[in-house]
Amino acid sequence: MSEPSDGMIPRTPIRVEHLDYTGGGLAEAEVPAAPFALVTEWVAAARTRQLDRGDVPEPLSIAVATVDGEGRPDVRTVLLRFLDPRGPGFVTSLESAKSAQLREVPALAATLTWPAMFRAIRFRGRAEPIGEEELDLYFAGRPRGSQISAWVSHQSAPVGGREELEQAWARAEERFEGRAVPRPGTWGGWRIVCDAVEAWAGRSNRLHDRFRWSRVDEGGLDDPAAWRRERLQP
């Protein structure tokens, strides 16, 4: 692209240092027939790497995409808080924009990305609310300050100022003084019941390895009969 004639707004691509992706890649023999074993192995590896080398902060951060009633996509980062053969899950406010979108269009896509490891995992599927018992168990283990915030924040609604939030937090702290903070009914979570999972491993010269599992039958992420596996072009 040429430089703009007005000299004001550069319209050329961002100048970059090209980083060659020198990850270990992924070979057919390492890719299980069902995705669960590889997903859990990569998640564990990212957490270990953060502990050992500190270059994968928030290894459980996951970008989660939703669609609104007009078909417009939306995306934000949350933290992966559930991972079992039913699918990955996260917690959030049920008053939030994402939860409203999911009630209207129960479709989810998400990606875990670990650039320092040249790895990413993608999920696509349908949204299912996390069960009450699982939520209670998780909520009970949260730091008290976060539990109080769950009562205070009407997530995604406008707020007049920081002070308003802090005053509301202080009032809630007083209200729950000396007793356990219960889980508010407006606090919940969503699971992705996957119909596709992809593992991406960055390789040299942008000739990356990609494997996708597509659902062919009912069954968990760990059920080989439920998935077809194929290598994709980079």
Member of 34, 38, 56, 78 binding ligand FMN (CB under 6 A)? 78
3-state secondary structure the chain: CCCCCCCCCCCCCCCCCCCCCCCCCCCHHHCCCCCHHHHHHHHHHHHHHHHHHCCCCCCCEEEEEEECCCCCEEEEEEECCEEECCEEEEEEECCCHHHHHHHHCCEEEEEEEEHHHCEEEEEEEEEEECCHHHHHHHHHCCCHHHHHHHHHCCCCCCCCCHHHHHHHHHHHHHHCCCCCCCCCCCEEEEEEEEEEEEEEECCHHHCCEEEEEEECCCCCCCCHHHEEEEEECC
Member of 39, 43, 92, 226 binding ligand FMN (CB under 6 A)? 92
Instruction: Kindly state the smallest distance separating residue 94's Cβ from ligand FMN, in Å.
Output: 10
Residue of 47, 103, 206, 231 marked active site:
206
Q: Is 155 in the site for ligand FMN (CB under 6 A)?
A: yes
Considering beta carbons, is residue 74 or 230 the nearer one to ligand FMN?
A: 74
Considering beta carbons, is residue 151 or 213 the nearer one to ligand FMN?
A: 151
Considering beta carbons, is residue 76 or 126 the nearer one to ligand FMN?
A: 76
Cβ burial of 156 (10 Å; 0-12, 13-18, 19+) is middle
Q: Is 37 in the site for ligand FMN (CB under 6 A)?
A: no
Instruction: Kindly state the smallest distance separating residue 97's Cβ from ligand FMN, in Å.
Output: 4
Q: Which stretch binds ligand FMN (CB under 6 A): 22-30, 87-95, 128-136, 190-198?
A: 87-95
Q: Is 156 in the site for ligand FMN (CB under 6 A)?
A: yes
Q: Can 103 be counted among the known catalytic residues?
A: no
**Separation CA 25–CA 206 (nearest Å):** 11
Q: Is 113 in the site for ligand FMN (CB under 6 A)?
A: no
Q: Is 159 in the site for ligand FMN (CB under 6 A)?
A: no
Cβ burial of 186 (10 Å; 0-12, 13-18, 19+) is middle
Q: Is 152 in the site for ligand FMN (CB under 6 A)?
A: no
Q: Mark 55-74 with x for binding to ligand FMN (rule: CB under 6 A) and - for no binding.
A: ---x--x------------x
- Give me the residue label for tokens 């194929």: 230
Q: Which stretch binds ligand FMN (CB under 6 A): 90-98, 117-125, 159-167, 211-219?
A: 90-98
Q: Which residues bind ligand FMN (CB under 6 A)?
A: 58, 61, 74, 76-79, 90-93, 96-98, 155-156
Q: Which residues are marked as active site?
A: 206
